[in-house]
């Protein structure tokens, strides 16, 4: 069999296993084992050695230690009063902006996303506070749901991000550079979301309730004071990371310590919340590392069969322009996003896609942000859109209703992808400016 037939066979096996409800991590390992047994022409003892070495190498990584720590930091803050304080602190400043308190969903998700690293946690936390408050004040429910579904995805774009850590490990790229690359696209996306809300509000003034009585500057500052601890934690993590005083893993450890201090100061830290946050972070971390281990074994199988190399050579031989290649990959990830979560999308495709990207001359850091934006789209794409499920459980609305409400913000995500494709400096400028092009 040639590499095309081998690749098609393994892909069919993978789809059958996934369709049968087999865990993604187990599916990846089984496909790797089948490929190694049938097509690698190696003795069985080597298969076992490759399996165990893949399991060890994929998880015995100092960089990967940042993953459970960032997850735990988000879990701790998820159980504090941060979301309520955030709404209370932001609302006075938005009273005269078109759309008024609708913008709290965008700003709240951006701020909480910068400390949680999780899309679902960001969406759930902000929705829990914002939806009842916006409904009580008479704001349009459709825009509120659509903005929350998409703005919740900022949790995986604005650093620190769990998805970014997974991509950096899969691509053997610098976690710090990936983090730095996410800041400007994240800010642009927040501007696009808020810009649409403002434009919609100006076109539909009858659907926006009247402004609250104006507050004095001192009153605004007093109500925003509760945001200071969280803002200081974010600034500290970013500063020590950018200044090179700490690695991403050390920053994650500082983040856990800071979140524990904030939780204790807000009187939200109890033994029950501490235990729940630790157990939840453990479950999520084990799930991700299990998937990474299965993907690592599949990657070894791919290397022995030569599929990535042949595929990269085939793509190179087609003479596709960089934009044509990106367009094809965009369609691929949009299709995958209808059936898989973001982390699974990355680990399932990295063994094949990354050699193609490198062969085409793309920067791996830029491609990391490109994938993260596509993963954001996957979070609001039926039928497996995690943020749609979160809001469905919280509101009782059907996921298709929420997905339709998110369409305008979905288009903002596509526009952001277009911008970073046409102007890749949006992604690469900050890491190059801070760390230099050769680091």
Handedness of CA 269, 273, 275, 277 (dihedral sign): negative
Mean pLDDT by 10 residues, the chain (439 residues): 72 80 79 79 66 70 72 76 70 79 83 70 74 81 88 81 83 86 92 93 84 75 76 79 75 85 83 88 78 75 69 65 81 70 74 80 90 84 70 77 88 91 91 74
Handedness of CA 149, 365, 427, 371 (dihedral sign): negative
Phi, psi of 42 (to 5 degrees): -130, 150
Contacting residues for 120 by C-beta, under 8 A, at least 6 apart? 152, 155, 379, 386, 387, 390
Token look-up 């085939």 returns 314
Quick one: which H or E segment has residue 253?
helix 248-265
Quick one: which H or E segment has residue 202?
helix 175-203
Nearest one of 369, 378, 359 to 426, comparing CA atoms: 369
Instruction: Say what the pLDDT of residue 366 is.
Output: 93
Long-range contacts from 284-287, C-beta under 8 angstroms, 24+ separation: 284/71, 285/67, 285/68, 285/71, 287/25
Instruction: Say what the pLDDT of residue 187 is.
Output: 92
Within 10 Å of residue 49's Cβ, how many Cβ atoms?
Answer: 12
Q: How far apart are CA 166 and CA 375, in angstroms?
A: 12
Instruction: Say what the pLDDT of residue 237 is.
Output: 79
What is the pTM for the complete model shown? 0.74
Instruction: Say what the pLDDT of residue 315 is.
Output: 61
Token look-up 């050390």 returns 250
Quick one: which H or E segment has residue 271?
helix 271-305
In terms of C-beta density within 10 A (0-12 exposed, 13-18 middle, 19 or more buried), how is residue 321 classed? exposed
Instruction: Say what the pLDDT of residue 384 is.
Output: 58
Q: How far apart are CA 121 and CA 227, in angstroms?
A: 19
Nearest one of 163, 177, 190, 162 to 428, comparing CA atoms: 177
């Amino acid at each position: 069999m040639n590499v095309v037939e081998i690749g098609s066979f393994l892909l069919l096996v993978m789809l059958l296993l996934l369709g049968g409800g087999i865990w993604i991590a187990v599916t990846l390992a089984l496909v790797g084992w089948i490929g190694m047994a049938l097509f690698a022409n190696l003795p069985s003892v080597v298969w076992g050695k490759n399996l165990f070495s893949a399991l060890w190498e994929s998880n015995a990584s100092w960089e990967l230690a940042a993953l459970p720590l960032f997850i735990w930091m988000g879990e701790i803050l998820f159980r504090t009063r941060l979301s309520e304080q955030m709404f209370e602190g932001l609302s006075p400043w938005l009273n005269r902006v078109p759309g008024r308190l609708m913008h709290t969903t965008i700003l709240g998700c951006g701020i909480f996303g910068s400390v949680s690293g999780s899309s679902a946690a960001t969406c759930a936390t902000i929705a829990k506070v914002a939806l009842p408050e916006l409904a009580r004040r008479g704001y349009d429910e459709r825009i509120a749901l659509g903005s929350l579904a998409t703005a919740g995805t900022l949790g995986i774009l604005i650093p620190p991000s769990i998805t970014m850590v997974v991509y950096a490990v899969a691509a053997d790229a610098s976690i710090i550079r990936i983090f730095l690359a996410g800041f400007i696209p994240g800010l642009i996306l927040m501007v696009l979301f808020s810009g649409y809300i403002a434009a919609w509000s100006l076109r539909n003034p009858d659907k926006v309730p009247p402004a609250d009585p104006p507050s004095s500057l001192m009153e605004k500052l007093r109500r925003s004071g509760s945001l200071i601890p969280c803002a200081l934690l974010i600034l500290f993590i970013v500063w020590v990371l950018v200044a090179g005083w700490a690695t991403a893993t050390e920053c994650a450890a500082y983040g856990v310590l800071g979140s524990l201090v904030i939780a204790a100061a807000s009187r939200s830290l109890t033994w029950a919340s501490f235990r729940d946050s630790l157990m939840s972070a453990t479950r999520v971390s084990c799930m991700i590392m299990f998937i990474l281990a299965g993907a690592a074994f599949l990657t070894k199988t791919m290397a022995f069969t030569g599929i990535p190399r042949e595929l990269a050579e085939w793509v190179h031989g087609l003479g596709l322009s960089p934009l044509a290649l990106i367009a094809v990959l965009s369609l691929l990830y949009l299709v995958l996003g209808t059936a898989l979560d973001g982390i699974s999308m990355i680990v399932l495709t990295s063994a094949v896609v990354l050699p193609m990207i490198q062969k085409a001359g793309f920067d791996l850091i830029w491609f990391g942000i490109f994938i993260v934006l596509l993963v954001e789209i996957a979070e609001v794409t039926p039928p497996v859109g995690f943020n749609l499920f979160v809001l469905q459980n919280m509101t009782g609305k059907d996921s298709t209703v929420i997905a339709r409400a998110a369409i305008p913000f979905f288009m903002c995500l596509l526009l952001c992808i277009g911008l970073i494709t046409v102007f890749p400096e949006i992604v690469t400028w900050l890491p190059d400016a801070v760390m230099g092009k050769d680091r």
